[in-house]
Amino acid sequence: MKFIDSRFDNITISTLKKDISAGVTVGIVAVPLAMAFAIASGLAPVIGLYTAVIAGILVSMFGGSRFQISGPTGAFIPVVAAVLFKYGYEGLLITTFMSGIIMLLLSVFKVGRIIKFMPISVTVGFTAGIAVVIFTDQIDEFLGITYKKMPHFHENMLELAKNLTNINIYAVLTAILGFFTIFLVVKFKIKIPVLLTALVVPTIISTIFYPTEVSTIGSTFGAIPNKLPEFNMIDISFEKIKYYLPPAFTIAFLGILESLLSASVADTMTNTKMNPDKELFGQGLANTIAPLFGGMPSTGAIARTATNIQSGAVTPISGIIHAIVVLLCILLLSPLASYVPLAAMSPILMRVAYNMSERHHVWKILKTKTGESLVLLLTLLLTVFVDLTVAVEVGVILAILLFIRQMAIQTETIEETERTKGCPQVTVLTFKGPLFFGATTLLDNVLQHKFKEETKIIVFNLHLLPVIDITASELLHQSIKKLQLLGYYVYLSHIPPRVYVTLQQEGILNTVGENRIFYTTSEAIKTAKERLEIL
């Protein structure tokens, strides 16, 4: 696999200036998000910052997209929180490391393109479900309420309801200031970093007027170290691999899906084309290396990637610059982050949840009132109330079953009576639609078909049969043999090339006989009439 590829070609002073400008802009956006995502997941904010640096550099250097910005994302919040709750911090590091290895292996086997087959109803469903979890998970910080977080949504909502009498008015005021700042900056299109400003304004006001009334990053997590992360080897064994494999697959799946979706958005915005397998390699490398320095899972970030493009990025250099900006903030500005109130983080994460909720897609699909809307709704509810892995598995299985049912409905046999007028001894049955395991009842209907009493020759017109699988071909073979035993002559006509190969492999052509297979149905009918004259 080629590491430094064509994405870095044609770098000039002009492109470098644009990449530096875009990288600085995205870096400023990434700092508050990296801290917020880490805190919302139950981790120290510096872990999010370290992850943004490591993933930002590695994915930009070794990924498959020219514009991808990688780091902690909101989608991982419920997953990371659940892993922390069940396995602890060490378990999270091992799980993240293993997920990186899984991504690397999948990139080697070139399965990046497979993710494109994920049903949109499942993708929208679990994305909206994650948004619901993130948004509701910030209500306690917004209200300044402290309670022990539980692993499931409904349990947290019950705990929140029990503690509503403990609202901290200063925390509410701080959160409202954050929302108001975001609203003003976006409403009047002020050219300053929205999210960073939404952190700075509430922090300044709370520090000046009520410094001891709200929980801050410093009071909750301690001071953020202004130093580089330390390397620590992960203690992993075969027993641990078996134990942590399920959550590792969950993180890997979510990381792959989010990264490739983000890269696809970048392709659409810039008319470029990513290399999905190379993108998996970059993401796998990031998730393998980050936990060695205490990092959390990372993936491609759609909002930051879009910001990178809109800021004028030309090459992956912008992603590297973004990571350097985050690193400089750690080294130079970490002491200031200790003053940031946790309540100031809630508007940022609520805004992230609102933006990622796919609300327009959700309503659009639900309004169709089809199987797709059922898949979306079930996936969303399972994501919120049960688990992301279960939600995706059930959603995909249900989508496949609904698709099979839909395809089965589309498959039918039609008797072409017009073509055999004046010749009741010949019946033409046309197969229309894919003939596969889900539509095999159609072959039972063929045997039960009410053929005219005079019928002696049955012509199967396969012109509109695009595909036939092994299950259906075996049943078709049995049906032809039964019809022959009943005294009918069976002809086959207009067989598509792909179907012809399957029928030949299954021995159906031999059973029918070479002289009863025709290129066109008209030829089959003509030959049938001639045979009837002999009979």
98 found inside a domain: yes
Residue 167 CB burial class (10 angstroms; 0-12, 13-18, ≥19): middle
CA distance 71 to 55: 5
Instruction: Please give the pLDDT value at position 1.
Output: 47
Structure tokens that stand for 313 in this block? 């990025």
161 shares a domain with 54: yes
468 found inside a domain: yes
Helix axes 194-209, 169-187, angle to 10 degrees: 140
User: Which positions ≥6 away from 470 have C-beta within 8 Å?
Assistant: 502, 506
What DSSP character marks residue 189?
T
CB atoms within 10 A of CB 166: 12
347 shares a domain with 417: no
338 shares a domain with 417: no
Which of 332, 357, 382 finishes a domain?
357
Residue whose tokens read 């490391």: 97
Instruction: Please give the pLDDT value at position 4.
Output: 56
DSSP secondary structure of 338-382: TT-BHHHHHHHHHHHHHHHS-HHHHHHHHHT-SHHHHHHHHHHHH
Tens of pLDDT along the chain (535 residues)?
444 577 887 888 999 999 999 999 999 999 999 999 999 999 999 999 999 999 999 999 999 999 999 999 998 999 999 999 999 999 999 999 999 999 999 999 888 777 667 788 988 898 899 899 989 999 999 999 988 888 788 888 999 999 999 999 999 999 999 999 999 998 888 888 888 899 999 999 999 999 999 999 999 998 889 999 999 999 888 899 999 999 999 999 899 988 988 898 888 888 888 999 999 999 999 999 999 999 999 999 988 998 899 889 999 999 999 999 999 999 999 999 999 999 999 999 999 889 888 889 899 999 988 899 999 999 999 999 988 888 988 999 999 999 888 888 888 888 988 888 888 899 999 999 999 888 888 888 887 788 888 899 999 999 999 999 999 999 999 999 999 999 999 999 999 999 999 999 999 999 999 999 999 999 999 999 988 876 5
228 shares a domain with 100: yes
Structure tokens that stand for 246 in this block? 């399920």
Yes or no: say if 211 and 376 are a contact pair by the CB < 8 Å rule. no
388 found inside a domain: no
Half-sphere exposure of residue 126, counting CA atoms within 13 Å on the CB side?
A: 27
479 shares a domain with 350: no
* Domain with 475 in it: 412-534
1 found inside a domain: no
Structure tokens that stand for 57 in this block? 């550099």
Residue 245 CB burial class (10 angstroms; 0-12, 13-18, ≥19): middle
120 shares a domain with 209: yes
Yes or no: say if 24 and 321 are a contact pair by the CB < 8 Å rule. yes
Q: 3-state DSSP: the chain helix, strand, coil percent, rounded to 5?
A: 70, 5, 25
> What does the radius of gyration of the chain's CA atoms come to, in whole angstroms?
31
403 found inside a domain: no
End-to-end CA distance of the chain: 69
198 shares a domain with 87: yes
444 shares a domain with 324: no
Helix axes 45-62, 276-289, angle to 10 degrees: 140
440 shares a domain with 300: no
304 shares a domain with 427: no
What DSSP character marks residue 435?
B
347 shares a domain with 460: no
Instruction: Please give the pLDDT value at position 393.
Output: 87
290 found inside a domain: yes
Q: What is the CATH number of the domain that holds 436?
A: 3.30.750.24
How many domains is the chain built from? 2
Instruction: Please give the pLDDT value at position 261.
Output: 84
398 found inside a domain: no
Which of 289, 322, 357 finishes a domain?
357
367 found inside a domain: no
Q: In terms of DSSP bridges, do strands 412-415 and 426-432 run parallel, antiparallel, or are they unpaired? A: antiparallel
429 shares a domain with 286: no
Which of 357, 378, 393 finishes a domain?
357
Question: Residue ranges of the alpha helices (H) in 214-316?
Answer: 217-221, 238-270, 276-289, 302-310
Between the alpha carbon of residue 283 and those of residues 72, 93, 238, the distances in Å are 12, 16, 24
